[in-house]
Chain A
Amino acid sequence: MSGFLLRRLLQAVVTFVGATFIVYALMFSIAGDPLQALAGEKPLSDSQRAQLTAQYHLDEPFIVQYGYYMKGLVTGDFGRAISGRPIADILAESWPRTIQLSLMAVALVIVFGIAGGVYAALRRGRAFDQTSLALTLVVIGTPVFVIGTVFQSLFAVELGWFRPSYAPELGLATYILPAIVLGLLSLATGMRLTRTSVVENLRADYVRTAAAKGLPQRRIVGIHVLRNSMIPVVTFIGADLGALMGGAMVTEGIFNIPGIGGRLFQGIRLEDGPLVVTIVSLLILIYLATNLVIDLLYAALDPRIRHG
């Protein structure tokens, strides 16, 4: 178990270094002029130029630049955005909103995605199953920003059920529509995956064994089948987190939520390179850390992995 843990941890570190290196290299070297990449087409004053050169050590060789950048990331020294505000301040203020939003979205995915998938699998071929298969396919084929803008138009502007943009005075309720938008894609994929997994496991030999022991159907499905079916679903949730992060950027942008994703959205539109590259790198870090946790959870769920 500890060997497995160590190996996975090492892999995650390698992946993190590699992934941030690629992102950093893409940002600063393919464009030719790193200053332009950072600031876009905005004219830069000499003092801004000097500040950016110093902040990113642009007068040093590339690999040294990357080294400084990584050091800053790991030590929490994120530098300043083009606007001049320390990035750390912006992040500190934005995190809670994004966490509230994503937790709500994940809760939706788990409750409706998994429950819906299990129900569809048990009623295979019936109306609920057929309808949910068709609807989830449509959701999977619809880009998040289309779902976001259409839902905003339909449920907020036309029907008036929700506010069309962030309203902090509503408390958590302001996140309901954005959380639905953010979670819908994962809900659809998760539901289909759960359904497939449960259908497959219902056919497994161990289900017949459990039936031969005289166990009630409830217990066979609820304990034997479900426990096995959740193994691929848990891995999916880890892999899906990347899409969820991109989705958070789009969703928070559409609904004007000043969370991490919203800041990234604004950063892209305002051509704030330092803010964009820092947030992307941090999100990669979180993505990989979460996947590490998911892997451990996977090992906990599947003894065949644990005892190789």
Chain B
Amino acid sequence: MNHLLELQDLQVEFRTRDGVAHVLNGVSCHVDAGETLALLGESGSGKSVTAQAIMGILDIPPAAVRAGRILFEGRDLLALPERERRAVRGQGIAMVFQDALSALNPVFTVGWQIAEALRVRTGLDRKAAARRAIDLMERVKIPDAAARVHDYPHQFSGGMRQRVMIAMALALDPKVLIADEPTTALDVTVQAQIMDLLLELKNERGMALILITHDLGVVAQVADRIAVMYAGRIVEQASVHDLYPRPAHPYTRALLQSMPRQHRTDQPLTTIQGLPPNLLRIPPGCPFNPRCPIALDLCREVIPPLITLEGGRLSACHRTREVLDGSA
């Protein structure tokens, strides 16, 4: 069976002045219609690059896709000519960016920017496109949309601006929506509203949603499945119900322990020791081994493969069994 969107062994590197940074080292995952997949990781883990690779908006050079396939509705996007690839953007897969203030063009009205894709891509005339822009702004619950359609991005609050971004992404009715840290720049109360809106839209339209975040709290509320990324690899993948109570990877466990929780005050809050690896010089073996409290000699030599565990969950750790049953 074909998934709506499937990554197979995606490898991306950045060629910099100081050497080659191995940003993605074989990422495989998939998402289906109506489903929410969360890509979770620290900055530098490769989650945003994964999104940009799917959209085909990596800066090439310095970036280069070394290997892998990105299958959308069965077609490999990486093998498509630029023209067909472009047709997928916006219409097949759309994206909401993190910082709406810089992601929106400062010199055009938001209405113009929402309508632009409609005019250019579907040949809608100016008037009809403008009407449709107002509809979309109303759909993302921007009050007084008919008047605000003429305003510029800097005239909106952070939350409203993010709604504009969402309206823009929805303009061409995409089948997959990628949201790259959509709430990081926002206040906590506004964050919840934007997440609710995204979920509501996903359910209403039967889209697949890929949510990129470093925030475990956000993930718990909205995601169906979680893929935890570390140093350009997926180190664990599981459903929310499986992952939170019983992580199968020491990195996930450390992340969960570093998250403040309201109900459990019995455990001390810990932070993860050390720093994420320098992508120019990823250590041999498991990339997490220098920070791993339970690393063995084996972990410093052999990269653990991503293996399938019970319930279809995945983990890439030599000691995953012990992590799962709590004995290590």
Decide yes or no whether B121 CB sits under 8 A from chain A.
yes
Q: Which residues of B contact A212 (CB under 8 A)?
A: 55, 57, 89-90, 94-95, 97, 169
Which of the 9-residue segments B11-19, B66-74, B102-110, B221-229 touches chain A?
B102-110
Q: Which residues of A contact B97 (CB under 8 A)?
A: 205, 208-209, 212
Q: How long is the Cα–Cα vector from A304 to B95 in the complex, in angstroms?
A: 25
Closest to A230 in B: B107
Is B104 in contact with A206, judged by CB distance below 8 angstroms?
Answer: yes
Is A211 in contact with B154, judged by CB distance below 8 angstroms?
Answer: no
Interface of chain B residues 258 through 308 with chain A (CB within 8 A): none
In-complex Cβ contact of B89 among A206, A213, A227, A303 (8 A): A213
Q: Which residues of A contact B52 (CB under 8 A)?
A: 208
Decide yes or no whether A210 CB sits under 8 A from chain B.
yes
Chain A window 231-257, contacts with chain B (Cβ cutoff 8 Å), 1 for yes, 0 for no: 100000000000000000000000000
Decide yes or no whether B197 CB sits under 8 A from chain A.
no
Is B105 in contact with A213, judged by CB distance below 8 angstroms?
Answer: no
Distance in Å: Cβ of A129 to nearest Cβ of chain B: 16
Interface of chain B residues 103 through 133 with chain A (CB within 8 A): 103-108, 116-117, 120-121
Q: Which residues of B contact A49 (CB under 8 A)?
A: none
If the complex has contacts A212-B90, A213-B168, A214-B91, are A206 and B106 also in contact, measured as CB distance less than 8 A?
A: yes
Is A214 in contact with B88, judged by CB distance below 8 angstroms?
Answer: yes
In-complex Cβ contact of B120 among A204, A209, A219, A302 (8 A): A219
Interface size on B, residues (CB 8 A): 33
Chain B window 28-72, contacts with chain A (Cβ cutoff 8 Å), 1 for yes, 0 for no: 000000000000000000000000100111000000000000000
Q: How long is the Cα–Cα vector from A26 to B104 in the complex, in angstroms?
A: 51
Decide yes or no whether A76 CB sits under 8 A from chain B.
no
If the complex has contacts A214-B121, A219-B120, A228-B107, are A204 and B102 also in contact, measured as CB distance less than 8 A?
A: yes
Is A206 in contact with B116, judged by CB distance below 8 angstroms?
Answer: no
Q: How long is the Cα–Cα vector from A204 to B106 in the complex, in angstroms?
A: 11
Is B103 in contact with A205, judged by CB distance below 8 angstroms?
Answer: yes
In-complex Cβ contact of B106 among A208, A211, A215, A304 (8 A): A304
Interface of chain A residues 193 through 232 with chain B (CB within 8 A): 204-206, 208-216, 219, 224, 227-228, 231
Is B99 in contact with A214, judged by CB distance below 8 angstroms?
Answer: no
Q: Which residues of B contact A276 (CB under 8 A)?
A: none
Distance in Å: Cβ of B68 to nearest Cβ of chain A: 20
Chain B window 130-169, contacts with chain A (Cβ cutoff 8 Å), 1 for yes, 0 for no: 0000000000000000000000101100000000010011
Main secondary structure of the interface of A (DSSP, over half): helix
Q: Which residues of A contact B168 (CB under 8 A)?
A: 209, 213
Q: Which residues of B contact A301 (CB under 8 A)?
A: 107
Is A304 in contact with B152, judged by CB distance below 8 angstroms?
Answer: yes
In-complex Cβ contact of A216 among B86, B152, B154 (8 A): B86
If the complex has contacts A214-B87, A214-B91, A216-B86, are A205 and B107 also in contact, measured as CB distance less than 8 A?
A: no
Is A208 in contact with B120, judged by CB distance below 8 angstroms?
Answer: no
Q: Which residues of B contact A302 (CB under 8 A)?
A: 106-107
Q: How many A-B Cβ pairs are below 8 Å?
A: 81
If the complex has contacts A228-B107, A307-B154, are A211 and B117 also in contact, measured as CB distance less than 8 A?
A: no
Q: Which residues of A contact B169 (CB under 8 A)?
A: 212
Is B120 in contact with A227, judged by CB distance below 8 angstroms?
Answer: no
Decide yes or no whether B240 CB sits under 8 A from chain A.
no
In-complex Cβ contact of A214 among B105, B165, B172 (8 A): B172
Q: Which residues of A contact B103 (CB under 8 A)?
A: 205-206, 208-209
Closest to B114 in A: A213
If the complex has contacts A212-B57, A213-B117, A215-B116, are A228 and B105 also in contact, measured as CB distance less than 8 A?
A: yes
Q: How long is the Cα–Cα vector from A210 to B107 in the complex, in angstroms?
A: 13
Is A307 in contact with B95, judged by CB distance below 8 angstroms?
Answer: no
Closest to A225 in B: B105
Is B116 in contact with A209, judged by CB distance below 8 angstroms?
Answer: no
In-complex Cβ contact of A211 among B89, B105, B107 (8 A): B89
Distance in Å: Cβ of B94 to nearest Cβ of chain A: 7
Q: Which residues of B contact A211 (CB under 8 A)?
A: 55-57, 89
Is B105 in contact with A224, judged by CB distance below 8 angstroms?
Answer: yes
Q: Which residues of B contact A304 (CB under 8 A)?
A: 106, 152, 154
Closest to B121 in A: A214
Is A215 in contact with B120, judged by CB distance below 8 angstroms?
Answer: yes
Q: Which residues of B contact A231 (CB under 8 A)?
A: 107
Q: Which residues of B contact A227 (CB under 8 A)?
A: 105, 107-108
Closest to B95 in A: A212
Q: How long is the Cα–Cα vector from A9 to B171 in the complex, in angstroms?
A: 43
Q: Which residues of B contact A210 (CB under 8 A)?
A: 105
Q: How long is the Cα–Cα vector from A132 to B87 in the complex, in angstroms?
A: 36
Closest to A227 in B: B107
A-B contacts besides A206-B106, A212-B55, A227-B107, 10 pairs, CB < 8 Å: A205-B103, A208-B103, A209-B97, A210-B105, A213-B117, A214-B89, A214-B91, A215-B120, A227-B108, A303-B152
Question: Can you list 27 residue pairs at the A/B interface with Cβ under 8 Å?
Answer: A205-B103, A209-B104, A211-B56, A211-B57, A212-B90, A213-B89, A213-B94, A213-B117, A213-B120, A213-B172, A214-B86, A214-B87, A214-B89, A214-B91, A214-B117, A214-B121, A215-B120, A224-B105, A227-B105, A227-B108, A228-B105, A228-B106, A303-B154, A304-B154, A307-B152, A307-B154, A307-B155
Closest 5 CB pairs of A and B: A214-B89, A214-B90, A205-B102, A206-B105, A303-B152
Chain B residues with CB under 8 Å of chain A are 52, 55-57, 86-91, 94-95, 97, 99, 102-108, 116-117, 120-121, 152, 154-155, 165, 168-169, 171-172
Chain A residues with CB under 8 Å of chain B are 204-206, 208-216, 219, 224, 227-228, 231, 301-304, 307
